Amino acid sequence: MKSVRIKDKNFKLSITESEILEKVKNVANKINKDLEGENPVFLSVLNGAFMFTSDLMKYVNIPSEISFIRLSSYCGTESTGCVRSLMGLTTDIKGRTVVIVEDIVDTGLTMLKLLDILNQYEPKEIKICTLLLKPDKLKVDLNIDYVAMSIPNDFIVGYGLDYDEYGRNLPEIYTVE
């Protein structure tokens, strides 16, 4: 089984690149159907969602805009719940259908904060699209419209997700050993 070492930790391969791409395509197809005629704005949450967004948007074929925002709540391997403010929202989302593109929803606190901030800009509707969900860690009530994959509680890296800023470039997803 393929494994990688990042800093002080070993990680083993858990989701292959082809499996990920298959799931990403499924989500894109669903979005294409659901949001046809909506002219949505995709808001990709940096840094973690950069690879997911890039692959997802290759399969989204409805007219849409993409913008990149930043809102971080995470340091090391434990979710802190402490959130910083939103940066980089340059598109006017008033009256628009917004799709938040996230790498992972863990406790859900980051997403809740983001929804709270974005709602102040009076969008028509906000959809949540996440590559990964850890259902057993979810602490808040969230209506997540699109989930590519649900995973166990273990810490993971790769495909945009980091361990202390490393490992984002891995094309597959690895789980800590």
| Interacting residues with ligand IMP (CB under 6 A) | 48, 73-74, 79, 102-110, 155-156, 161-162
Work out how close the CB of 140 gets to ligand IMP at its nearest, in angstroms, rounded to a whole number.
9
Q: Choosing from 106, 136, 154, 164, which is the catalytic residue?
A: 106
Work out how close the CB of 57 gets to ligand IMP at its nearest, in angstroms, rounded to a whole number.
18
Using DSSP, state whether 44 is helix, strand or coil: strand
Work out how close the CB of 120 gets to ligand IMP at its nearest, in angstroms, rounded to a whole number.
19
- CB 104: neighbour CB atoms within 10 A? 24
Compare residues 39 and 80 and give the one whose CB is closer to ligand IMP.
Answer: 80
Six token digits for residue 96: 């628009």
Name 23's Cβ contacts closer than 8 Å, sequence gap at least 6: 148, 149
Work out how close the CB of 54 gets to ligand IMP at its nearest, in angstroms, rounded to a whole number.
16
- Give the separation between CA 53 and CA 148, rounded to whole angstroms: 12
Compare residues 5 and 33 and give the one whose CB is closer to ligand IMP.
Answer: 5
Name 75's Cβ contacts closer than 8 Å, sequence gap at least 6: none
Using DSSP, state whether 154 is helix, strand or coil: coil
Angle formed at CA 160 by CA 148 and CA 81, multiple of 5 degrees? 85
Six token digits for residue 144: 């997540």
44 touches 66 (CB < 8 A): yes
Beta bridge partners of 149: 132
Compare residues 13 and 62 and give the one whose CB is closer to ligand IMP.
Answer: 13
Catalytic residue flag (residue 103): no
Compare residues 28 and 74 and give the one whose CB is closer to ligand IMP.
Answer: 74
Active site residues: 106
